[in-house]
Structure 1
């Protein structure tokens, strides 16, 4: 079975594209997801990953790249959620629930009008085995930009994630950093559509980072571990998807979940089995 998979990679270009794209998404999701976890913004990641759907639909309907429409709607979502939270008595999670469900519903309706141009199932759940060369190049460029952003602003992201008040005292523009992070989160969510779909994007953003969080208390190690787990999940997911004809997005996400369960049980510092022994 492994031999057949390796042979497939050597012979089939579509499988090469699928594997490389999934690995790139795993790296980008793992890196940006680490900061989402530390900031307690998992719900925001969920909101943006769902709310980009109208942008995808509009892009298909008018014949331009889905990245533009999806990115606009992702940033619009972050802006509206911030506006509603600041201008009303509603808490952040309530605003997130209202905005992302509304945008997601709008996206499903718009997709129904664009049904001849695309496939709703693949948008919602991904189809990594249908990745084209243009999708691969787009994923590579955006993954590179995300990694560059984290490298250049690592210190700012670190201090604003752990101590926003101190960051303000140092004169950092925490609002700008927040919306920059939202922008790059949106980009990662957009390029993940082809591999895992809008519904499962949040799992790629959160699960590898959460797994890494259970394994280390050091941010740099957490980011590296999260990216590694994302890559491993991508490779395992593509392998089983190709070998057994399973849905690619769901298989990759399930691989992420398996790694999380292993860390949850066996992490030397935070695993529940080791905690019971120490007690």
Structure 2
């Protein structure tokens, strides 16, 4: 009997691989714009959307998505108003999200549902949530492919991109919404507390292996997909939490590559 004979594991692998492909696509621009902590801010804000969804009796993932989009737009708005201190936007939105989630969680009767979003529950993905992840993944991939050059310019220098005629504000708005949607669905699967790791760690590993923008992105996707598959297999056979296992494998990969590069340079 193979692991893929179970329907819940089929959904887990499909959702995990899809997220492993799109999170580096989003994370690449986030890292290059030096906004690595935006994943933390949005994931914590998503918890308040989860609480609202549970209180209203609606789908908590949709609530998380709505709040994530609002939080992401808030971060972008504050960044524009305070360009010299743009990193404060992330801290402000994160604080608001944590505070609101803390207050609203006290009114949620079934705390188990709320707590499942802290560390994720990828093996408990429903068919409806699977379709939601598939739709968002397709949207992210098509947008990244279509706006590849614009995102490349903006990631390195927004001012130069604007001078070159790139519609920076419009691209930033689209990218902000995509980031929020990605974080909201990833929070459901791998957990709000560690979703930012999936956005950043594969990119960090890819930077140690790739020599170009495209090369880093390709290696980051390979790292994310490999560690996702490995994490799901380990969690199934040893009863581990899938989200935490996946992230630990990503960190391990990064450390191995980093140490390997250091040793290689010393030998040369």
Partner of 2:140: 146
- Take 2:4 and 2:83, find their aligned partners in 1: how far apart are those partners? 54
Partner of 2:110: 116
Partner of 1:13: 7
Determine which of 234, 255, 262 is the counterpart of 1:272. 262
1:195-206 equivalent positions in 2, closer than 5 A: 195-206=189-200
**Structure 1 residues 108 and 31, CA, compared in 2 at 3 Å: closer, same or farther?**
same
- Take 1:232 and 1:50, find their aligned partners in 2: how far apart are those partners? 26
1:43-192 equivalent positions in 2, closer than 5 A: 43-87=37-81, 91-116=85-110, 118-192=112-186
- Take 2:50 and 2:264, find their aligned partners in 1: how far apart are those partners? 45
Cα deviations by residue, 1:213-271 (Å, 9 ceiling, x for unpaired): 111121222222211211111111111111111112111111111111122122xxxx2
Structure 1 residue 95, shift from structure 2 partner: 3.2
Structure 1 residue 117, shift from structure 2 partner: 7.1
Q: Which moved more, 1:138-147 or 1:119-128?
A: 119-128
Partner of 2:255: 261
- Take 1:63 and 1:237, find their aligned partners in 2: how far apart are those partners? 32
Aligned to 1:42, what secondary structure does the other structure show?
Answer: coil
**Structure 1 residues 144 and 83, CA, compared in 2 at 3 Å: closer, same or farther?**
closer
- Take 1:143 and 1:118, find their aligned partners in 2: how far apart are those partners? 27
**Structure 1 residues 247 and 87, CA, compared in 2 at 3 Å: closer, same or farther?**
same
User: Structure 2: which 5+ residue stretches go unaligned?
Assistant: none
Partner of 1:251: 245
Aligned to 1:192, what secondary structure does the other structure show?
Answer: helix
**Residue-pair matches, total:** 268
- Take 2:64 and 2:195, find their aligned partners in 1: how far apart are those partners? 13
Partner of 1:221: 215
- Take 2:33 and 2:211, find their aligned partners in 1: how far apart are those partners? 15
8 A Cα contact 1:15 1:129, kept in partner: yes
Structure 1 residue 65, shift from structure 2 partner: 2.9
**Structure 1 residues 73 and 194, CA, compared in 2 at 3 Å: closer, same or farther?**
closer
8 A Cα contact 1:60 1:117, kept in partner: no
Aligned to 2:198, what secondary structure does the other structure show?
Answer: helix
- Take 1:89 and 1:206, find their aligned partners in 2: how far apart are those partners? 23
Structure 1 residue 125, shift from structure 2 partner: 0.5
8 A Cα contact 2:43 2:196, kept in partner: yes
User: Structure 1: which 5+ residue stretches go unaligned?
Assistant: none
- Take 1:90 and 1:216, find their aligned partners in 2: how far apart are those partners? 31
Determine which of 217, 236, 239 is the counterpart of 2:233. 239
Cα deviations by residue, 1:165-200 (Å, 9 ceiling, x for unpaired): 221112222122122111111111111122211111
Q: Normalising by structure 1, what TM-score?
A: 0.89
Cα deviations by residue, 1:54-110 (Å, 9 ceiling, x for unpaired): 112112222333343223322322333344444469822233223202212311331
8 A Cα contact 2:73 2:177, kept in partner: no
8 A Cα contact 1:50 1:199, kept in partner: yes
